[in-house]
Amino acid sequence: MPAAVASHLLFDSTDLLVLPVLPAVVGELLDTFESAETGIRKLARLTGYDAILSARMLTVANSAACRDGMSRQASLESVLAVLGEETARSVIATTAIQQSLTPLRDISASALDQFWLHSLTCAHLARRLAVIIDYSEPEEAYLCGLLHDLGKLVIGVHHGKAFTAMQEIRHLARSPREIPELEQRLFNTDHCELGAALVESWRLRSFFADAIRFHHMDADDLRGAHPLSRLLHVANTLSQTEDPPEEAFARADGLLGLNRSLLRQARFEAEREVINLAADLGIDLSATGGRRKATEVSGEISFAQAARERIPNDGASGQLEHADDQSVLLEAMVAQDRLGQAVHEHALMSEIRGEMHGAGDEPALLRAISRCAAILFDVTENHLFLRDPRTGMLRGSPSEDLLREIVVDPDGAANAVNRAWREQRISHSLDVEVPAGVVDRQLSRLWETAGTLCLPLSVAGRSLGVLAMGISHQQLPRLQARARLLRLFAVTAATELEQLRQREMNRQRAQDDQRLLERQHLRAALHEVSNPLTIMRNYLALLATKLEKQVTRDELTVLQEEMERIGRILLRLSEPVGGGLDDADVNLTKIVQDLARVLDDALCRPHGISLKLNLADVPLVLPRGRDAIRQMLLNLVRNAAEALGPGGAITVSTQDRINLHGRQYVEMAVADNGPGLPDHLRAKLFQPTVSTKGGGHAGLGLAIVKSLAEELGGQALCRPNSGGGSMFIVLLPTS
C-alpha cells in the first residue's frame, strides 16, 4: 500500500472532479437538459441521487462567484435556484467530461454499488426521521446523509485498494467509534474529518459539518447534541445492509425519542424507496447483500489487526492482494465506457441541435430532422407523421405527394406508427409475432425496405407525432442497440419542433398585442380629440350670439389654439405605438386606468369576467417604461382571463413605498379568484413553456413579463391570492 497520507490532508474541492459518479444519474440529467421538461425541482431530485454531483453543486453555489451576498445554502432546490439551469448544466456536463477522461480507479463496481446504496438509504432515512421529529430542515438532513461517507471515496482514489479496506474495517471494528481511529492509523486521516472539511469550506450557518465529523461517536456522547448530529448518527446506524441489533434501536430511541416500531417502519420505507430506485440508477443490489459471511472476511482479520498494532502499511497491503484485479479492472472499464458513451451521445446531439436550430420555419425544420436522422442512423428513407390538431390524425408532411396521402388513425388498425404513438416507445414492423399492418406494408413498399421503425416525438407530456424510418432486417439489431441515442434524438427533434411552434405563436401573440395596444392608443387619442371639439362647439355657440357684435380677439385666439391642438392629436394617430411619446415621468396610475378600459371591453366583459381597479390614492410616477408597463399589464390580465370562466374576477391594484433590499419600488399586482397554480407548474412559472390552458396557448406571457420587469430594473413575483387563485406582482423601481 502507498505511504500514509500527510496528517494535515483536507478535502480539496478538486477531488470532486475525480470521484466516481453514478453514470445513470449523469445520463438522466443530461437527457433532462435536452428536453423541455427541465425544472429546478426535477433537477434537485435527480442531483440528489448522487453524492458527488450534489457536493459539486453545493461547492459552486457557495463559492464567492455565485453567492453574491446571499446566505449560504444547504438545500439542493435553493442551490439550483441560485445557480440557474445553465450553470447547473455546465456543472453536470463538465463533471461528465472529466469523469469520462479520468483514469480507471482501483475501486470495484460492487464496492461502489455498496457505497451508493448505503448513502442513499442513509439520506432517505435521515429525511424521514427529520420529518417525524419535526426537524426544521429535512432536506438538510437528506444531504447530510447523502454526503456523510464522501471522505471514503477521497481516501479510496488516493490509495489504491484502501476503499476495499475501509469497507472491511466497518465489519471488523469493535465499535463504530473505532472505525475512524483505524483509518487514522492506516492513512493518517479518516473519512469523517475529510467529509467535514468539505462542508466547512462552504461556511454554512449550520451544524452540517459537525454532524458528519461526529457520526461515528458513541450514542451516549451525542445525547443533548444538535438534532442534525443525532439524526445522522441514527440514520447511519440503521441504514447498514444488515439488520441492526436490538440495542441499536434502543440507542436510537434514546437519541430521538422514537419507539422501535416507528424506527423500524421508517427504516423499511427508506429501504423500499431506495430499492425501487436502484434499477434506474444502475446499482446492482446483488453486490450489496446482507451481512458478510465470516469466511468472506476472515482473510482481512490480520489487516484490521495490523491497523490496531500500527504494523507498517506495506505489510497491511499484502493482506489485500487476494482481490481479483482483473475483475475490478473490467468493472471499472464498463462503468467508464457507459459514462463515456453518454458524453459522446450528448456531443452528437449538440451538433444535431445546431443543424435543426437553423431552420427558419416548420417545413425547413422537418426537412432538417429527416436529414439528421439519415446522418445519425443511416436511414435514408424516413418521414414525419405529425398530429393534426383539428382531427387528431397523424398526417404525413405535404412535401411528398404519395406520403402526404397517408393518414394514420391513432385508434385505428394496429401498425408500428400508431403503436409508437399510443405506447410512447420505439416500435417496429419486423416482429415475427406481431403482423405488419397495412400502413407498415404501404410504407415499406414506397420505400422498398423490409419494414419500418418508428420513434414517438413528445415533449413536456405532449405528443407531437411519429418519425417513421424504413429499415432492413440487418439494420434492426444495430438500431435497437442504439435505443438510447434514438430516444435522445426523438426528444431533441420534438423539443426543437415545439420551440419553433412556440416562437411562431409568440410572434402571432405579439401581433395581437400590438393591435390591442394600437386600439387603446387610438381610443385615448380620440378621447383627447373630444375635449377641444367640445370647447370649439361652446365658443362657436357663444360667437353665434355675438354675430351682431364685434368678435373679440381673445375668443378667436382660443378657437385657433384648440384647432391647432386637434391637428397635433390627429398627427399622432399616424405614428406607431410609443412613437413620439415622451417616456419620462411615466404615470403608472393613468396607464392602468386607460388600458383597463380596453382590456375590460376586449378580454373580460365578453366572457363574463369582472375587472376591478384598486389603485393608490396618489399618482405613481416612474422614470420610464410606458410601453413595457402596458405590455406587462396586458399579459397578466390576459393570462388571468384565460384561466377564469364566467363569474370570475380580476383585480388590478397599485401601491407605492415598497422597500426591498434598501431600494424603493412601486407595485402593480394582478389577482384572480381562479383555481390557482398546480404544484408541478410552480418551478417553471416564469419560463417559456407549454401552457396547460389548451387552445394553442404558448405559455409565454409570464416569461415576457419577467423579461420586461428585469429590463426596467424590477422583479416579477407570484404568490397565492388570499381569496383563492393567484396574484402576480410586478415591482418597478422609482429611480
Nearest alpha-carbon partner for 578 in 635, 527, 630, 620: 630
Q: Could you tell me if 429 and 444 are in contact, meaning their C-beta atoms sit under 8 angstroms apart? A: yes
Residue 521 counted as domain residue = no
**181 & 239 share domain:** yes
At 613-662, the pLDDT tens digits run 999 988 898 988 888 888 888 889 988 888 888 889 999 999 998 888 77
> Which of residues 270, 303, 323 is at a domain's end?
323
**208 & 340 share domain:** no
pLDDT for 130 equals 92
Q: What mean pLDDT is predicted for residues 386-404?
A: 80
The crossing angle, in degrees rounded to 10, of helices 483-545 and 23-34 is: 30
> Which of residues 323, 340, 374 is at a domain's end?
323
**122 & 253 share domain:** yes
> pLDDT class for 213, splitting at 50, 70, 90?
very high
In this structure, of 47-61, 63-77, 423-437, the range with the lowest mean pLDDT score is: 63-77
Rounded Cα distance, 49 and 147, in Å: 11
Rounded Cα distance, 403 and 529, in Å: 59
> Which of residues 357, 376, 400 is at a domain's end?
357
Query: Where residue 442 sits, what CATH number does that domain have?
Result: 3.30.450.40
**241 & 308 share domain:** yes
- The secondary structure element, H or E, covering residue 96 is helix 76-101
The residue among 364 and 358 whose pLDDT is bigger is 364
Rounded Cα distance, 470 and 447, in Å: 6
pLDDT for 694 equals 43
DSSP code string of 441-483: HHHHHHHT-SEEEEEEEEETTEEEEEEEEEE-TTHHHHHHHTH
Decide if pLDDT at 31 tops 50: yes
Query: Hey, what's the cell of 692?
Result: 396547460
Decide if pLDDT at 379 tops 70: yes
The segment with the largest mean pLDDT, out of 353-357, 501-505, 684-688, is 501-505
**466 & 378 share domain:** yes
Decide if pLDDT at 15 tops 70: no
Residue 553 counted as domain residue = no
Residue 74 counted as domain residue = yes
**373 & 393 share domain:** yes
At 360-378, the pLDDT tens digits run 788 888 888 888 888 778 7
Residue 267 counted as domain residue = yes
Q: How many domains does the chain have?
A: 4
Domain membership of residue 42 as a residue range: 16-104+330-357
Indicate the Cα dihedral angle 52, 56, 57, 63, nearest 10°: 160
**203 & 251 share domain:** yes
Residue 428 counted as domain residue = yes
In this structure, of 225-234, 457-466, 535-544, the range with the lowest mean pLDDT score is: 535-544
Decide if pLDDT at 577 tops 70: no
Give ∠ CA 511-515-521 in degrees, rounded to 5: 140
pLDDT for 692 equals 44
Query: Where residue 235 sits, what CATH number does that domain have?
Result: 1.10.3210.10
Decide if pLDDT at 135 tops 70: yes
Residue 618 counted as domain residue = yes
**607 & 714 share domain:** yes
Residue 527 counted as domain residue = no
Decide if pLDDT at 156 tops 90: no
**288 & 382 share domain:** no
In this structure, of 37-41, 410-414, 571-575, the range with the lowest mean pLDDT score is: 571-575
Q: Does the predicted model carry a pTM greater than 0.75? A: no
Burial class (CB in 10 A: 0-12, 13-18, 19+), 476: middle
Decide if pLDDT at 233 tops 90: yes
> pLDDT class for 400, splitting at 50, 70, 90?
low
Query: Where residue 713 sits, what CATH number does that domain have?
Result: 3.30.565.10
Rounded Cα distance, 69 and 64, in Å: 8
Q: Residue 248, Cβ neighbours under 10 Å: how many?
A: 18
Q: What mean pLDDT is predicted for residues 525-550?
A: 61
Mean pLDDT rounded to a whole number for the chain: 77
pLDDT for 107 equals 75
pLDDT for 94 equals 67
Decide if pLDDT at 329 tops 70: no
pLDDT for 361 equals 85
**82 & 181 share domain:** no
> pLDDT class for 667, splitting at 50, 70, 90?
very high
Kindly state the percentage of the chain with pLDDT values over 90: 17
Residue 243 counted as domain residue = yes
The residue among 681 and 253 whose pLDDT is bigger is 253
First-last CA distance in the chain: 67
**155 & 295 share domain:** yes
**241 & 390 share domain:** no
